[in-house]
Amino acid sequence: MKITLSLILNILITIFGLIPLSFGQSPHLPLPEGAVMRLGKGWSTEIHYSPDGTRIAVGSNAGTWIYDVQTGEELKLLTAYVGAVWCVRFSPDGQSLASGSSDATVRLWNVETGELLHTLIGHSGIIYSVAFSPDGKTIASGSRDNIVRVWDTNTGEQLRMFIGHTEEINSVAFSPDGKTLASGSDDGTVRLWTLKSGTSDTSLTLFSPTNAPVNSVVFGPDGKTIASGGREMNISLWETNTGEPVRTFSNHTDWVRSVAFSPDGQMLASGSDDTTIRLWDSKTGKQFQLLKGHTANVENVVFSPDGKTIASEGLDGTIRLWDVKTGLQLRILAEHPDVVYSVVFSPDGKVLASGGKDNTVRLWDTVTGQQLHALIGHKNYVGTVAFSPDNLILVSGSDDNTIRLWDTQTGEQLQLLRGHTDWVNSVAFSPDGKMIASGSDDNMIRLWDAQTGKNLHMLFGHTDWVNSVAFSPDGKMIASGSDDNMIRLWDAQTGKNLHMLFGHTDWVNSVAFSPDGKMIASGSDDNTIRLWDTQTEEQLHLLTEHTAIVNSIAFNPDGRILASGSDDATIHLWHPQTGEHLHTFVGHTGRVHSVAFSPDGQTLASGSDNTIYLWEVFTDNPPHILTGHTSIVYTVSFSPNGKILASGSVDGTVLFWDIAALNKN
């Protein structure tokens, strides 16, 4: 049953023994019904300065944020979308803002009031780029549908439709005199379209640098040149009238995502997948600044109107401001974390850890919602995190092949554990907190001393990626599941391989011990769940109701029920002792990525297609459906006392749901 936000806020919610006076989240970010807190603001897509340089607009999957440049304060969040905002532009007078979205619409907003002025409908694909004409009377939009459209800003009427590109359009730009429109596409071309008043006739010049996709196009302030950047790792400068190449800027070591001229045209800035921003003399082609700070792809660069500052937006989830003259980073203006792959509560329930695509581990206060620490050090995605039993240490595993240990109180990195030679997929603490197990794409499990960081054992045997590791409840055994279709049991003290469990015919994605440690459950790409006796190696039961990959399995607290979630969009309940199929939960419309039981075993949570479903395990009541994420829900986790459910999503946010209030109503 859904309940209203106002009702929730009027209930005295006691979370972890404390009554929060504030949930610590942005007052501009709306909460879905049933949610009490949102951690994060959604991953960012594009940035743009207001004409007076006092504000920056940030497109994100949560909507369009507007920030005060000096203070970093969130001024507004503009939301009216079904999907992410991919592009944003202020009008020349700064009074309006245009945004393009994955819902195939362009929207015009009043910047001061946040009022939606027009919704421009016509495209049939994601809008990747929007631009105002110099006089502000028209807007151009480029889309995944390969079409450029021009709109009247006053009426919202479509004025022009330019067809010619054969693949999606990544960038559009008006010439300074407003007579020409440029567009860059994945088809490897830059096209120039002549805008003639009173006619739909067009003429174009075709630039084809290397046939590599073009990510960004921009006119020089005098309109005589146009710069383009793309997947050939260079920036090309062209004469607008003739299409003749002027020069090439070469130093980036990966794709160029964004190019921008300084207001006086003397400089060109470029942002790249090599994580750097480079500043160039536009007349000579000489690089004179290299700006380093981002830890992932730099997606956007823009000059401030006075040309003294550059803003950059990266896949590391940060918006950074740089001093053009010195090349120094002035500050991080805002943080927009990317995809959240993993969330886990500390054993005492006071802290939540999240790991994701922005290479960062974040620790959050579960009462206030404030970010306690951003743990920066990993050089690639963080896919797995785990707390020590005493709450004091967090371990994280990353696609950078490393494991890092962090002090949860200070955020300090305690240990860097090197040894794996490929992605680390799973980490787990032993029940006594003295050891850590890690599984990797290098086909190996490693055991580490949690205090010293010493590698105690290397467990050889798997012949393909290790996806999952788990300690038995008594800490004496470790189970591992691998892409070699096998589960192995290991002695945690000696590292000796105790048992090899054969039966699966495809990758093993998940392994879990029963609460008494007598059984292991495994879920696989062969669409089955298998139950095994930990002492005899015997396969006890083969569970075959699923018709697609099994992603997640979980025992309820007393071990009498097993739940499984699958790509077939269903959740099944099983009796582990007999193998009996108990029930099928149907409702999701996409893959079920995660299932979790509440601590009392009465409720099962499942994460899937932008939604979380709460199922009453022992009744036939319909599920509570929690909506609020704007993309796939990868992970769900209950707090130790069962009062809060955390959900992490591809939308880059973590939502806290008040289970007690939901149950009460």
Alpha carbons 258 and 271: distance in angstroms, whole number:
5
How far, in Å, CA of 568 to CA of 589, rounded? 9
Q: Give me the mean pLDDT over the 264-268 stretch.
A: 95
pLDDT tens-place string over residues 92-123 = 999 999 999 989 999 999 999 989 999 999 99
Residue indicated by tokens 């990266």: 314
Comparing 51-65, 262-276, 413-427, 540-554, the range with the smallest average pLDDT is 51-65
pLDDT, greater one: 15 or 562 = 562
**pLDDT given for residue 625 in this prediction:** 87
Banded pLDDT at 522 (limits 50, 70, 90): very high
DSSP letters, 130-172, are EEE-TTSSEEEEEETTSEEEEEETTT--EEEEEE--SS-EEEE
Task: Give pTM, 2 decimals.
Answer: 0.69
> What is the residue extent of each domain of the chain?
41-335
**C-alpha distance from residue 541 to each of 432, 487, 601 (Å):** 31, 15, 22
Strands 74-78, 85-90: pairing kind: unpaired
**Residues facing residue 511 across a β-bridge:** 522
User: Does residue 151 carry a pLDDT above 90?
Assistant: yes
Answer for the pair 615, 571: CB distance below 8 angstroms, yes or no: yes
Strand ranges (DSSP E) for 61-101? 63-68, 74-78, 85-90, 96-101
pLDDT at 158 over 90: yes
pLDDT for the residue numbered 24: 34
Residue where the block lists tokens 């190996």: 444
Residue 85: strand pairing partners = 101
DSSP-assigned letter for residue 221? T
CATH superfamily of 41-335: YVTN repeat-like/Quinoprotein amine dehydrogenase (2.130.10.10)
Residue 183: the pLDDT is 94
Query: Where on the phi/psi map is residue 516: left (φ > 0), alpha (ψ -120 to 50), or beta?
Result: alpha
Cα(556)–Cα(577) distance, integer angstroms: 13
Report the alpha-carbon distance of residue 278 to residue 259 in Å, rounded. Answer: 10
Q: What is the pLDDT of residues 291-326, one digit of tens each?
A: 998 888 899 999 998 898 989 988 877 888 999 999
Which of 24-38, 42-56, 352-366, 616-630 shows the lowest mean pLDDT across its residues? 24-38
Integer Cα distance of 107 and 153 in angstroms: 10
Predicted local distance difference test score (pLDDT) of residue 208: 63
One DSSP character per residue, 354-417 reads: EEETTSEEEEEETTT--EEEEEE--SS-EEEEEE-TTSSEEEEEETTS-EEEEETTT--EEEEE
Residue 6 predicted with pLDDT over 50: no
> Is residue 15 over pLDDT 60?
no
pLDDT of residue 184: 93
With a cut of 60, say whether residue 22 has pLDDT above it. Answer: no
Tell which wins on pLDDT, 458 or 410.
Answer: 458
Q: Please tell me the distance from the alpha carbon of residue 424 to that of residue 445, in angstroms, as a whole number.
A: 10
Question: What integer is the mean pLDDT of 158-182?
Answer: 94
Whole-number Å distance between alpha carbons of 289 and 301: 14
Q: State residue 82's pLDDT score.
A: 62
pLDDT tens-place string over residues 560-585: 999 999 999 999 999 999 999 999 99
Per DSSP, the three-state class of 342 is strand
Q: Rounded to an integer, what distance in angstroms lies between the CA atom of residue 105 and that of residue 110?
A: 17
**Does position 18 have pLDDT exceeding 50, yes or no?**
no
Cα angle for residues 222, 226, 230 (degrees, 5° grid): 150
Distance CA 651, CA 221 (A): 36
Number of other CB atoms surrounding residue 26 within 10 Å: 14
